[in-house]
Amino acid sequence: SGAKVVVVGGGYGGATAAKYVRLFSDHGIDVTLIEPNAAFVSCPISNLVIGGHKTMADITTPYDNLSKRHGVKVVRDMVASIDPGKRTVKLASGGELPYDRLIVSPGIDFMMDTLPGMAKPGAADKVLHAWKAGPQTLALRQQLEAMPDGGVYALSIPLAPYRCPPGPYERACMVASYFKKAKPKSKVVIFDANDDITSKKGLFMKAWDEHYKGMIDYRPKHKVVDVDAATNTLKFEFNDDFKAGVANVIPNMRAGDIAVKTGLATANARWCEVDFLTFESKAHKNIHVLGDSIQIAPAMPKSGHMANQHGKTCAAAVVSLLQGKEAPSLPIYANTCYSFVTAEDVVHVASVHRYDAEKKTMLPVTGAGGLSPAANELEGRYALAWARNIWADTLA
Ligand code: FAD
């Protein structure tokens, strides 16, 4: 029988890798994708659901095409453990699968031990992160709808690196756009653990001034160290406690649990170091790690756009390795992160990253990429087209 590839996680990295291993091997390599969710729910565009401008259906795509068109075996389950020596994965439901090469793209998990109050019964259902699109996206929307006019929505941002650097500032815009329309006396307070806005600063500040004057209060250097979910109170390292109407706390992040548990998170037990030519783990042979779980190269964001390109680079390498050929060399990636500042107006940041053979890492290409001159409606259309295209490239 043919070689076997198992993929852990059907997100931007894993679903892309599964599809492209099938395509690049002319359907010669057997691919099994293991994913607990019934359908793919996109984080990109999910802030528009929170703002009331899109629905959950708009950001949901079924996995059917991966199996029907590409012959990927999609198994709805969780990988409970990986045995790198035996080259097997154990499923939560009890089964075991062998692999020749394993691709691990479990996204992020939260370092909940850094917020002790969140362990109290019910706390995690009340103070939401909504940083994995799905039930929490809708639940946060419902909390905002239930909040009386004049209430305060508090958003806390963890220290970088975290998934999607501009995402929190986009979320603040989307919540403010809802308040402007439906609850004009309400306020958005952003508590940022970082020293400053880490992405598209000038563009976001301009949008806050133009569209949401007096509504958004940005407070840098505010590191949340605990949460009292019963009273929606944020506790800080150095500042006074803050009680919110809706508290939206984005906790510190690390590689997905399964990666950490398997010993793949070699950088501070937090992120997984890989060889950028193949995405093979530096800890275990025959295991490749992609997407948000990896220790990023300089200036490389944790984005869906990046994870999609990791998926293709890794798929090409895995196919070559299984066919006894050399991996294709010198990958180049582009990244564009669009952010909605109103329901229609969008800003972007773009960059290009090239493999540096001497430094053995991906480096940003000088002079490539850039920022929008100002938020505009044309980029709003580009942003929605970007989303449709990347969902098709990943899943169709
Ligand atoms: P994910 O896409 O999260 O996929 C991980 C998958 O693994 C999940 O489906 C999960 O169920 C599965 N999984 C986890 N553990 C297991 C296990 N043990 N067994 C089986 N399956 C498992 N990026 C952009 O490029 N553009 C944007 O505009 C953008 N906007 C964003 C807005 C928000 C609000 C957020 C939160 C993120 C945004 N991102 C954006 C970032 C983007 O969502 C992530 O970078 C991307 O999802 C990373 O892909 P991934 O494959 O690493 O993880």
- 3-class SS of residue 305: helix
User: Tokens representing 109?
Assistant: 């998990």
Quote ipTM for the complex.
0.99
Mean pLDDT per segment of 10 residues, for the chain of length 396 residues?
92 98 97 98 98 98 98 98 98 97 98 97 97 98 98 97 96 98 98 94 96 97 97 95 98 98 96 96 98 94 97 97 86 95 97 94 94 96 98 98
> b or e along 208-246 (b: 16 or more beta carbons within 10 Å of the residue's beta carbon)?
beebbeebbebeeebbbebbbbeebbbbbeeeeebebbb
Q: Which positions ≥6 away from 135 have C-beta within 8 Å? A: none
Atom 49 (ligand 1) nearest CA: 12
Handedness of CA 197, 199, 203, 204 (dihedral sign): negative
Cα of 334 vs centre of ligand 1, distance in Å, is 18
81 — alpha (psi -120 to 50), left (phi > 0) or beta? beta
First to last CA, the chain: 27
Structure confidence at residue 1 (pLDDT) = 52
Cα of 269 vs centre of ligand 1, distance in Å, is 20
Q: How far apart are CA 79 and CA 91, in angstroms?
A: 5
Residues lining ligand 1, Cβ inside 6 A: 8-14, 34-37, 43-44, 46-47, 78-79, 105-107, 131, 163-164, 167, 256, 258, 291-293, 302-305, 307, 337-338
Cα of 301 vs centre of ligand 1, distance in Å, is 13
Structure confidence at residue 328 (pLDDT) = 78
To test the ligand 1 pocket, which listed residue (16, 41, 43) has its Cβ within 8 A of the most ligand atoms? 43
> Given strand 73-75, what is the order of strands in its sheet?
73-75, 30-34, 4-8, 101-104, 287-289
Task: Determine the angle formed by the axes of helices 12-24 and 377-395, rounding to 10 degrees.
Answer: 50
Q: Which atom of ligand 1 is nearest to the CA of 390?
A: 25
Cα of 76 vs centre of ligand 1, distance in Å, is 17
Cα of 129 vs centre of ligand 1, distance in Å, is 14
Q: How far apart are CA 174 and CA 180, in angstroms?
A: 10
User: Tokens representing 289?
Assistant: 């790690």
- Answer whether 0.90 is exceeded by the pTM: yes
